[in-house]
Structure 1
Amino acid sequence: MHNNPKETARIVSSLQRAAALKLTLAEDPYPLIAVVEACDTAIRAGNKLLFCGNGGSASDSQHLATELLIRLRGSVARNSWPAISLTLDASALTAAGNDFGFDEVFARPLSGLGKTGDVLFGITTSGRSPSVVRALQVGREMGITTVGLLGGDGGVARAFCDHAIVVPDFDTMRIQECHISLGHIILELLEDRLIGADR
């Protein structure tokens, strides 16, 4: 096996940096608990969770929505819970982009699918994605609880979030790694709270 010291150092450095970011987030768990409580309230009231993001964050949106709708942990038997990723429908996305502009690709379907009492997760590593910011703005206007999974300093998205969880870094890859970990933690705690109602 070829041993490249520079590659070895890069691997170690990347893993250490990712671990350090997660440990920083672990210093204040209460924002996560507040999000879990908002999601718990929404699901118990018959409402739903919605997710949106661009690029890798679009994949995270689909990933997290699927784990609510289908399954998070194979060891837990439960009902399907209502969750929608606003990134899924290519026809709706391209129609909204064509007819209203790309900034409206999530806000437009949200205005038809969302309702007061729902929870919207806007995922943006920069906190500045116009389409996500616009969705958060419209969600708040509709009485939807808005959650931001953000990066850097939170960007302009932070102002439209009822709950903002900010990964304090500007490296997109490291932020995305934290976002999916944060999402899994939120859903795992939510599942623990809700499974009693299913049994």
Structure 2
Amino acid sequence: MAGDLLDAHLTLLAEALLPYRDCETLLARWGTELARTLTGGGRLLVAGNGGSAAEAQHLTAELVGKLRDDRRPLSAIALHAETSAVTAIGNDYGYDEVFARQVRAHGRVGDILLLMSTSGTSANLLRAVDAAREVGLRCWAFTGPAPNPLAEACHEALPIASADGQVVQELHLVSTHVLCEYVERELPAAAARRVPTEPAPAGTTTSAGPVRAGVEVLLDGDGRQVEAGQGGTA
């Protein structure tokens, strides 16, 4: 009968939406933490398999590009998108290592690894968590119903309470958009945390960025640049 499939799918989606509403507190906190990490020079590494790979790449596109308003790009890498690296690592070390080796290559202490999986059992994602913990990354996961190995291996996880893989992936996409909304909302406050509230004491220097020889930079009382001119004496 026409309409049966759509109605059945929407029924499953509606059932999963009821407990999903409780995830907003976690997404808000992750958005704040991610905004602070990215404005502080850290990066987000993301990975998944199959449809979850597509959703992981969707997330990085929203951060490197933009979700709504124009802003500076944020560092986010979808590990599965580097096809030459994935196939080389898979060929030489096995498919279970395709993400773990990239985590060791790109990850730095304080970065965040976000993994997406409907089952929470993918061996290559579990290996990626092991590598991330060795390097010093924080590990998050979007998964299907908990408990599952990936949710338990990560520091925190957002499990979707549905046995239907399509519903899980659809709510992972919602989670991606809501997470990015919270990141963009938090960016001004996260950036403000990095601006010194008082000028440095006389005779001290900071290493906030590269130094250009022969250029004099003047700062106001809040530590912001107000004038730049050629250095040297007259």
On whether the aligned pair clears a TM of 0.5, the verdict is yes
Q: Deviations over 1:147-189 (max 9, x none)?
A: 1000022411122211100001221111000101011101111
Q: 2:119 aligns with which of 122, 126, 130?
A: 126
What residue ranges of structure 1 are gaps of 5+ in the alignment?
A: 1-5
Partner of 1:3: none
More off after superposition, 31-40 vs 63-72: 31-40
Partner of 2:61: 66
Report how many residues are paired: 191
In 2: Cα distance, 1:154 partner to 1:79 partner: 37
Alpha-carbon distance change, 51 to 154 in structure 1, aligned in 2, over 3 angstroms: farther
State the 1:22 CA deviation.
2.2
Under a length normalisation based on structure 1, what TM-score does the superposition of the two structures give?
Answer: 0.90
What amino acid sits opposite 1:83 in the alignment?
A: A
State the 1:24 CA deviation.
1.3
Partner of 1:19: 14
What amino acid sits opposite 1:96 in the alignment?
A: I
Q: 1:181 aligns with which of 164, 169, 174?
A: 174
In 2: Cα distance, 1:140 partner to 1:175 partner: 26
Structure 1 SS opposite 2:140: strand
Partner of 2:141: 148
Larger Rg: 2
Runs of 4+ in structure 1 displaced over 6 angstroms? none
What amino acid sits opposite 1:54 in the alignment?
A: N
In 2: Cα distance, 1:128 partner to 1:12 partner: 30
Contact preservation (8 Å) 1:71, 1:80: yes
Structure 2 SS opposite 1:190: helix
Structure 1 SS opposite 2:174: helix
State the 1:195 CA deviation.
4.4
State the 1:23 CA deviation.
2.5
Partner of 1:190: 183
> Per residue, is there more helix in 1 or in 2?
1
2:51 is the alignment partner of 1:56 = yes
What amino acid sits opposite 1:31 in the alignment?
A: L
Under a length normalisation based on structure 2, what TM-score does the superposition of the two structures give?
Answer: 0.77
State the 1:9 CA deviation.
2.4
What amino acid sits opposite 2:30 in the alignment?
A: V
Partner of 2:30: 35
RMSD: 1.5
Alpha-carbon distance change, 91 to 195 in structure 1, aligned in 2, over 3 angstroms: same
Q: 1:93 aligns with which of 62, 86, 89?
A: 86
Contact preservation (8 Å) 2:23, 2:158: no
User: With CA pairs under 8 Å and 6+ residues apart, which has the higher RCO, 1 or 2?
Assistant: 1
In 2: Cα distance, 1:125 partner to 1:151 partner: 5
Alpha-carbon distance change, 180 to 149 in structure 1, aligned in 2, over 3 angstroms: same
What residue ranges of structure 2 are gaps of 5+ in the alignment?
A: 193-234
